[in-house]
Amino acid sequence: MENKTPYMKNTMRAQVGLGDLSTIGIIFVVLAVVLAVGAYILTTINTTAGFAAGSISSNTLAYGQTSLQTFAQWLPILAIVIVAGIVIYILMNVFHGKGGTAV
């Protein structure tokens, strides 16, 4: 019987590889499509519903459009950060334990 102390817990490590890049790419495509469709719907409602300019409904739609545009502008930066994280993870796994410390 193995004696396990309470401070020694099994840790789960995230396993990310090159095969996961396609999944991340599909997620980004779906996210971009959802943002585009959402922006189209908000624009269509705002132009065809006939809300008075400056009304709560019109302002809410305008804020929604601005929010979607702001979030969409961050997509390239998010993509770069995620891909850089995957590359760093792969490099750390390749050089881990080979010939001393690799930083």
The DSSP output letter for 52 is P
Query: Residue 53's pLDDT is what?
Result: 85
pTM of the model: 0.64
Who wins on pLDDT, 99 or 9? 9
Give the contacts of 39 (CB within 8 A, at least 6 positions apart). Answer: 65, 68, 69, 72
> Element (H or E) spanning 59, and its range?
helix 56-73
Please state the domain extents for the chain: 34-95
Stretch 56-73: mean pLDDT, rounded? 92
Say if residue 67's pLDDT is above 70. Answer: yes
Query: Residue 13's pLDDT is what?
Result: 59
